[in-house]
Amino acid sequence: MFDTPVMLTPLHYAYLIGVIAILAVMVRRRDTPAVCIAFLFILGVIGLGSVAGGIMTVFNAVLYAAREFMEVIATIALVTALSKCLKDLGSDYLMMVPMSRVMKTPSLTWWILGLTMFLFSLFLWPSPSVALVGAIMLPFAVKAGLNPLAAAMAMNLFGHGFALSYDFVIQGAPGVSAGAAGVSSADILTQAAPVFWVMGIATVVSAFLLNRRTMGIQSVVPAGPRLFGGGEGADSGELPSGGDGGVSGTGGLSRQPAPSRKAAMTLAILTPLAFLADILMMFAFNLKGGDATSLVSGTAALVMCAGAALGFKGRFLEKVTDYVTDGFLFAIRIFAPVIIIGAFFFLGGSGITTIMGDQFQSGIMNDWAVWLAHNAPLNKYMAALIQMVVGALTGLDGSGFSGLPLTGSLARTFGLAVGASVPVLASLGQITAIFVGGGTIVPWGLIPVAAICDVSPLELARKNLLPVLIGFICAFFTACLLL
């Protein structure tokens, strides 16, 4: 695979300039879709050799990105629809009461939320876990005073970072890396275990220490209306109102009652039971990844319908339409700029074949990674550094797994060339590819958590950046001791 050096073309240099330009605009906290569209056109003109090719590349890339994101868009929409139904009936309040006795402070709540996400992600993977934890636990966390941005960090770093990069239960990530590296998954999980644990622990601990003073809900002005309640009440930590009249609850919580107290109580019991049943079915039928996400999303839709039927009787049909419409409007509003950004970065990976044609069989960013591997001087430590850089580069398309065959193959090549541990080298590529592309650094990769928590994905990426970089440094030095 790496015997023939990559020949860099004007297309590669134009793409690299585009990446730098987009990242520079992001650093300045400006919107990037216009820049992405411009570079999509430029890349199309260069790659296909015509203005018409550039115009078609813009549309084809956006269409490809929309298809790739559609599963996540639908999941966010249906979970949002359920959350609105829970809020209107008052079921969210009833579910908060017992959990409010456990989640007493923002700091404690951050760890509870993060560790819950970690455990769920190990067994279910992060995508369905985001929907489950977001639908059930996020209202409790917000009520306990944890601001939504801190909640998003906890769910993101523990789930899409720590749990997904290690993945020692499902073993999807180490399985791909091991296959390309010519070793077993067990070798990666055992020989490189210290690297995974140091990376995960250093990241989440540094994230907590760097942000513990600003975790209170009063410290963040949300980007938009809260997913689980909105307006001034949400910002101040008070529960939003719903229905007519007032009712007092446990622990000083108070909110106005839902249209039907019985319906609210029924849905408050039904919702966690339905998601618990999902978890049991995932284990019973070995449902993972997209299948697990589909199960959770479908359950959210059915529970939402049941809640509307229980609470609104004759208005049931109209309420379901309202909830679904609100859910998809929310999801599309969040994803609209991300689809444009993702359209550009999908050219860096395997998406280029669908977007620009069969004459392009290798992603542009993957070519840059292979070129770097061929041209950098090698020893054990340089090989480890290259593995991390290559993993990060391949993760820029927002898919943490797409770069694993490359980093696994490079680990075998480098390991044999310099006499280093192949499993340890493979683990470094796996860690950086997933932490960057799986959804903690690039804004277009962490949209599910940002949307569930209703925070800016750019702001979440900025908050994650320093803890993840600290984790990378710690993981690199740990790996150097094991090579």
Q: Transcribe 327-351 into DSSP letters.
A: HHHHHHHHHHHHHHHHHHHGGGTTH
Contact indicator for 173, 164 with CB cutoff of 8 Å:
yes
Looking at per-residue confidence, does 273 or 179 come out higher? 273
Q: Which pLDDT tens digit goes with each residue over 367-406?
A: 877 787 677 677 888 889 988 988 887 777 666 676 777 7
CB atoms within 10 A of CB 140: 22
> Could you say which DSSP state residue 1 is in?
-
Q: Which pLDDT tens digit goes with each residue over 105-143?
A: 888 889 988 888 898 787 766 776 787 777 777 877 887
Per-residue confidence (pLDDT) for residue 41, from 0 to 100: 95
On the 0-12 / 13-18 / 19+ scale of CB atoms within 10 A, 355 is: buried
Contact indicator for 143, 253 with CB cutoff of 8 Å:
yes
Q: Is 320 left (phi over 0), alpha (psi -120 to 50) or beta?
A: alpha
> pTM (2 decimals)?
0.65
Average pLDDT of 228-241? 33
pLDDT band at 242 (very low <50, low <70, confident <90, very high): very low
Average pLDDT of 92-104? 68
On the 0-12 / 13-18 / 19+ scale of CB atoms within 10 A, 416 is: exposed
pLDDT band at 97 (very low <50, low <70, confident <90, very high): low
Please report, rounded to a whole number, the percentage of residues in the chain having pLDDT higher than 90. 19
Average pLDDT of 196-209? 94
State yes or no: pLDDT of 225 exceeds 60: no
Please report, rounded to a whole number, the percentage of residues in the chain having pLDDT higher than 70. 83
State yes or no: pLDDT of 207 exceeds 90: yes
State yes or no: pLDDT of 152 exceeds 50: yes
On the 0-12 / 13-18 / 19+ scale of CB atoms within 10 A, 350 is: middle
- The highest-confidence range among 48-57, 286-295, 418-427, 455-464, by mean pLDDT, is 48-57
Angle between helix 106-124 and helix 148-155 axes, rounded to 10 deg: 30
Average pLDDT of 1-14? 75
